Amino acid sequence: MYEQWVVTALLAWPMLAAVLVLLAPPGWAKHLALGASLAEFALSVPMWWTFVPAGGMQFRADAPWIPAWGIHYTVGVDGLSLFLVLLTTFLVPLSVLGSYAYITSRERQYYALLLVLTSGMVGVFVSLDLFLFYVAWEVMLIPMYFIIGVWGGENRLYAAIKFFVYTFFGSLLMLVAILTLVYLVGERTGTYSFSYEQIMAGLGNLGPTAFWLFAAFFLAFAIKVPVFPFHTWLPDAHTEAPTAGSVILAGVLLKMGTYGFLRFAFPFFPAVAQHPVVEAVIVALSLVGIIYGGLVAMVQPDFKRLIAYSSVAHLGFVMLGIWALTLQSVQGALLVMINHGISTGALFFLVGMIYERRHSRLIEAYGGIARVVPIFAAVLTIVSLSSIGLPGTNGFVGEFLVLLGTFRSHPVAATIATTGVIVAAAYLLWALQRVIYNPLDKPENEKLLDLTPRELAVLLPLLACIVWMGVYPKPFLDRMAPAAQHFVDTVKAR
């Protein structure tokens, strides 16, 4: 029973809750939203146990939606999407709790948007119908646009519209590609259907059109990931968004791009994706992303911007892992996606918390605060180390697997990517030194308050994940392995 309704419930509940939050008295909004998102998380947790690793696509639901066009409401979860769904439901309650003090105006609308966004994000990861996928992909744009534009920093209007237009442009090209794909497949098989599985089954050889279709999908996903050179919207959006917005952006929204590659772009057009030139270009872009993202992060005076650029580097690892196309590298890529959501999410929370106290995101505004706020400093250190990929933390497992897997198919690329880890150590440790060590020379910093219990409640689950996944990643890897293997096999078989 649970298997059949859980995904639909995960999609419907936040929408319903959003309406409730909008109608509630203003003071209740955040508590209601917290309760609703915790309920959503509780709803999703049993998936961890009921999920059958070798079971392929499960938790399926299917109903006709617009039969005239072959559009169905088809949802399901497999090893590729399970953890992304769980990551989403895990991060949302934390984001709500993390917004308690930060969001002071128009609270009802804010939390309602956050809940609608949850539906959109889950929708992207569970859709098995290209129409539904496209709708979910676009629908989550609006709440994020508002969250950045209404509750963001000083430059929020610019950041919001840039975020919107970049994504919108990419997704509309994807729309044309989806239509053409359905039309081509329909011409061949006689049934026009947007079903993911039917398209996969009837795909065949698309000839030269495949390249253009892949290019359209690539652009849509590459903007979202973001792959260098499509990343310029990211620093603005991440920096201007309110804390929870940044957390969700980095934690979940970027993963939609890499998930899109894993689920759609690569399996649909394996011949194009594995064409030597295309592959060389994408691997090169991933490496540029890793190195360039790290180097640019190093010189950022703004801590939030530094983390934003570090995302470019982390997602470069994911792209590299996908294109290296070995079991380890794909597993590693999946793991880095989750890790990045946890570690970078935690980093954004921490920067947000210190910003709420000092109203500055500049690294140079701090210095030596470890003496004033020891708990904050300790947490920041652990999270930074996890983001660097220190053994014993989650970051290490993912990046190590990516590098290991990549080394087997692309030894040179793996070698270059390894330097990215060093760059990561450089920018984060240097930032850490300037923020929490060095002399305590600013009088404003002497009276900073340490983390409150509420803030600790936000951070402790993330810290627990960092340690758990760093020390004992086996349950995660076990659940990912069959899906990753299936991905590698199907793609290589074509």
Partner 1 sequence: MSLDLSVYGDLLTALLPELVLTGWGLVLLLVVASRHRTAADLRLAGWLTAVAFATTGVAVWWLWWHSAHAAGLATMIAVDDFRFVTDGLLLVAAGLTTLFSFGYLEREGMLAPEYYVLLVFGTLGMMLMGGGEDLMVIFLGLELMSVCVYVLAGINRRSAAGAEGALKYFLLGAFASAFLLYGIALVYGATGSTNLTLIGAQVRTLGLAHNTMATLGLGLLLVGFGFKIAAVPFHMWAPDVYDGSPTPVTAYMAAGVKAAAFAALFRVLVEGLSGITAWHQIVWWLAAVTMLVGNLIALAQHTVKRMLAYSSIAHAGYLLVAVSAGGGLGSGAFLFYLAAYILMTVAVFAILAAKGRDGERDVTIDDLAGLAQHHPALAFGMTVCMLSLLGFPGTAGFIGKWYVLVAAAGAGQGLLAAILVIASVISAGYYLPVIMAMYMKTEPSAEAHAGVRLDPWSRAVVVAAVAGILVLGVQPSRLLDLARASGATLQAAPVTPTSSPAQLSRSGH
Question: Which of residues 168 and 468 has its CB atom nearest to partner 1 in the complex?
Answer: 168
Instruction: Give the residue, chosen from 41, 83, 110, 164, that forms a contact with partner 1 under the rule CB under 8 A.
Output: 164
Instruction: Give the residue, chosen from 8, 58, 180, 409, that forms a contact with partner 1 under the rule CB under 8 A.
Output: 180
Reference 267, options 184, 228, 338, 325; nearest CA is 325
Q: Provide the minimum distance between the beta carbon of 131 and partner 1 in the complex, in angstroms, as a whole number.
A: 8
Both structure tokens of 16: 């319903």
Q: Provide the minimum distance between the beta carbon of 240 and partner 1 in the complex, in angstroms, as a whole number.
A: 11
Reference 228, options 169, 161, 138, 296; nearest CA is 296
Question: Which of residues 102 and 168 has its CB atom nearest to partner 1 in the complex?
Answer: 168
Instruction: Give the residue, chosen from 5, 183, 200, 392, that forms a contact with partner 1 under the rule CB under 8 A.
Output: 183
Reference 29, options 120, 117, 99, 89; nearest CA is 99
Beta strands 71-77 and 58-66 are antiparallel
Question: Which of residues 165 and 422 has its CB atom nearest to partner 1 in the complex?
Answer: 165
Q: Is 176 in the site for partner 1 (CB under 8 A)?
A: yes
Q: Is 173 in the site for partner 1 (CB under 8 A)?
A: yes
Burial of 271 (0-12, 13-18, 19+ CB in 10 A): middle
Q: Is 215 in the site for partner 1 (CB under 8 A)?
A: no
Q: Provide the minimum distance between the beta carbon of 109 and partner 1 in the complex, in angstroms, as a whole number.
A: 8
Q: Is 70 in the site for partner 1 (CB under 8 A)?
A: no
Number of residues that bind partner 1 (CB under 8 A): 29
Question: Which of residues 162 and 304 has its CB atom nearest to partner 1 in the complex?
Answer: 162
Both structure tokens of 223: 């903007």
Please list, in sequence order, all residues whose beta carbon lies within 8 angstroms of the beta carbon of residue 423, skipping any fewer than 6 positions away: 290, 291, 294, 295, 298, 313
Instruction: Give the residue, chosen from 15, 20, 57, 135, that forms a contact with partner 1 under the rule CB under 8 A.
Output: 135
User: CA–CA separation, 329 vs 333, rounded Å?
Assistant: 6
Stretch that binds partner 1, among 45-53, 167-175, 284-292, 314-322 (CB under 8 A): 167-175
Do 20 and 37 touch, CB atoms closer than 8 A? no
DSSP designation for 263: I
Q: What is the number of residues in the chain?
A: 494
Instruction: Give the residue, chosen from 12, 52, 165, 412, that forms a contact with partner 1 under the rule CB under 8 A.
Output: 165
- Per-position x/- string for 142-161, each x denoting binding to partner 1 as judged by CB under 8 A, each - no binding: x--xx--xx-----xx--xx
Both structure tokens of 131: 């129409």
Instruction: Give the residue, chosen from 15, 39, 101, 179, that forms a contact with partner 1 under the rule CB under 8 A.
Output: 179
Q: Is 378 in the site for partner 1 (CB under 8 A)?
A: no
Both structure tokens of 221: 């996903």
Q: Provide the minimum distance between the beta carbon of 89 and partner 1 in the complex, in angstroms, as a whole number.
A: 22
Distances (CA, A) of 177 to 86, 202, 280: 29, 16, 23
Please list, in sequence order, all residues whose beta carbon lies within 8 angstroms of the beta carbon of residue 328, skipping any fewer than 6 positions away: 401, 402, 404, 405, 408
Q: Is 172 in the site for partner 1 (CB under 8 A)?
A: yes
Burial of 385 (0-12, 13-18, 19+ CB in 10 A): buried
- In a 13 Å sphere around the CA of 59, the CA atoms on its Cβ side amount to 30
DSSP designation for 68: G
Question: Which of residues 99 and 286 has its CB atom nearest to partner 1 in the complex?
Answer: 99
DSSP designation for 304: H
Q: Provide the minimum distance between the beta carbon of 362 and partner 1 in the complex, in angstroms, as a whole number.
A: 25
Q: Provide the minimum distance between the beta carbon of 150 and partner 1 in the complex, in angstroms, as a whole number.
A: 5
Q: Provide the minimum distance between the beta carbon of 293 and partner 1 in the complex, in angstroms, as a whole number.
A: 26
Q: Is 139 in the site for partner 1 (CB under 8 A)?
A: yes
- Interacting residue ranges for partner 1, rule: CB under 8 A: 65-69, 134-135, 138-139, 142, 145-146, 149-150, 156-157, 160-161, 164-165, 168-169, 172-173, 175-176, 179-180, 183
